Chains A and B, each alone.
Chain A
């Protein structure tokens, strides 16, 4: 088969070869992009805390699940994490007090490693309830809001930093 086309004319095989190579290159890039989009892993922190200024209050007991992962229970002051892959996800919250279920979908930026979802904010409808999270910022925040709030700030330091350190210990 190859022999006959080659005998007829080299240019034809040449263009075909170029086409095949170009196609392969496109496929290579496409697969790589697809793998990055679907394979990129993000950490989602699920937070159930009072606001520093008292604009919203923690939920008095709820069950939260991300996508189809196993759900876990949260009580005021709790913070936990879930690992997800890809960018589009749904969060399902079941509040114990009034047995209400809320489902929300959200998108995580592609190159973001850690995102925090404040469930009380989400339930209360305060934007933005989803924010990128970096450990350094969080520590800074906790230190800045330190002295005046007193007890509260210690709590946020306690719960904020260890959550981060625990995170680093588990992931390496």
Chain B
């Protein structure tokens, strides 16, 4: 009994409620003529789309920088990589990997500056990160209009310059991961093997990294900066590394998202993508100073499951589309819950 109680306390009521709500949705699905196999396939697909962006939260949480509300910087780096890959007419797997390689220098440079800034404002990271992210997105909005891209699939037809708001990757690297070794069962179920393998690879690398010497030092900085400093760890350096990794993962994350979604969305599109990633890792059980791979996996599945299932099930149940409202309340409620929880003193 006692075990159960502490388990619930550790896990947190919101998560348990969300978990049972999701289970209820799955149970209800067949009764309102929503195909289970299609839904599961959908959830898997969306899990793969978003998991890396959620993974990007881990290093900064571990190093004590809090929730990365400035993930937008990484997303924009990813967009730069993706558009450059299209500009260079890179197709297929080459195009996809090319996008990641091209995004890397941007994410490293941006991440470095971003880390420098965050190191100057310790304790206020989250609010500042949010506004740095927003203003950078706005700055890039101007850049998308004036940068000299000229691939006709990307620029506005009539003006011949300025990138479109959405660019299709159909002839370049659409579903390059999704279709890799994909297993199709029946008419509705597709298992996106390649996508999930890619996510697993990154999760594994992150898991390895957190156990490496640098990784443990980083975690030490997050859990007790003074102690870490005393034992000879360069706090600022560790934080910088974590921010750069987070930014890079954000870039990879959005490129993975794009190859599955089919479009590169520019301009203000990245700003609404940050909060869901933050919410997902919190739903998975992370707090603002501790996160693990399990948090990423559980959180992304729960959150994306919720986003996939609520529209279909609730719509057929109530004949109205409440999914948007539920999404807003759940994701922000989750972040709020994490922010207001008493930060546990690490034992």
A–B direct touch in complex (beta carbons closer than 8 A): no
Q: Which residues of A contact B (CB under 8 A)?
A: none
Q: Which residues of B contact A (CB under 8 A)?
A: none
